[in-house]
Homo-oligomer: A and B are copies of this chain.
Amino acid sequence: MAAKPLGEFARIARFFAPLALPGGLALRDDVALIAGRHGEQYVLKADAIVEGIHFFPDDPPGDVARKLLRVNLSDLAAKGATPVGYLLTMALPKARDDRWLAAFARGLAADQRKYRLGLFGGDSDATRGPTVLSLAAIGRVAKGRAVLRSGARPGDVVYVSGTLGDAALGLAVITGRLKGIGPAARRYLARRYRLPEPRLELGRRLAGVARAAADISDGLVADLGHVCAASGVGAIVEAARVPLSVAAHQVIARSPRRIRAALIHGDDYELVFTAPAAAAARVAAAARAAGVRVTAVGRVVEGHAVRVLDARGRAMRFGRTGYRHF
């Protein structure tokens, strides 16, 4: 009888953490850091997306390109870094013809202008399977200013940017699992799933203010959990304080169980970060300057788990938190 397979995080800890360089931060952060020039560090991040898992075969190619770039820029944003450039490798089935590639490249071009970075190089190969796109992003940050996962301290306030749950509800809209809402709300939610907005300006302004940060790709509970694990602390989140968009609020008001979209589902690519209570005014100033809403949703405590309390202060339980690929 086969042994139960390890989960993704256990696999990383068991097989890959022993291979890590010091700059790899023991693979416990979202990124790696290497020395740069002029007292800067480079921030490195690689992530891949797979057709049929992270995007649909008939998604607009430009949106696929932009999402691939943005999910990596989101990690740079969480660290307070400024994008520099990226490497791209593509495993392409025959269906990805020149027309698809041209539209894909136009999507990259649009986001390169928007986020001011460029392509360093890469590689494309044929595959008989689904499209697999891998991107390694490089950013820069003043030395020692990167906001790591490991800096959270008991007493810190836990904040999130923007609104949560939109991407998971957007995916439900796209896959026909969420009906009975108006076309504008549908479009809004689907857009939030297809094209996340990396919080680069906010992240830069939080460097030196926030103590720890991550982007929310696996869900608030899971990603805050990574921060807690790396920092050796626990956290308490009040579900009622988690910020929702108007569209998400409509959905959840009618179907309260959908609050899980904002708590344990991923793909919002907002930031979760912690800061001392005394830094509240600086956090608010950073949010204002970046034009991004920031909301206090809980606090860091002694311990090692993330607990979520409902409106009456009772602990909420989730079967599983965060998207697991294995």
Contact = CB atoms under 8 A, between A and B. Distances in A.
A53 to B, nearest CB: 6
User: How many monomers of this chain does the complex have?
Assistant: 2
Give the top 6 A-B pairs by smallest Cβ distance, nearest first: A129-B129, A21-B118, A32-B120, A134-B134, A46-B87, A136-B136
Interface string A146-167: 0000000000000000000000
A125 interface: yes
A123 B34 contact: no
Contacts of A120: 20-21, 23-24, 32, 34, 44
Contact of A21 (B5, B47, B85, B104): B85
B102 A15 contact: yes
A130 interface: yes
A318 interface: no
Contacts of A321: none
Interface stretch (A105-113, A259-267, A297-305): A105-113
A98 B37 CA distance: 40
Contacts of A12: 124
Contact of A132 (B27, B42, B122, B127): B127
A285 interface: no
A2 interface: yes
A53 B45 CA distance: 26
Interface in A34-70: 34-37, 42, 44-50, 52-54
B126 A127 contact: no
A65 to B, nearest CB: 10
A129 B125 CA distance: 14
Nearest to A143: B37
Given A5-B97, A16-B122, 4 more contacts: A2-B97, A37-B37, A44-B138, A45-B121
Interface string A17-32: 0111101110101111
A254 interface: no
Given A34-B85, A35-B36, A136-B87, A53 B127 contact: yes
A128 B90 CA distance: 16
A120 B130 CA distance: 27
A321 B19 CA distance: 38
A8 B124 contact: yes
Contact of A130 (B3, B123, B128): B128
A88 B44 CA distance: 11
Contacts of A54: 125
A84 B19 contact: no
A6 B44 contact: no
Contacts of A244: none
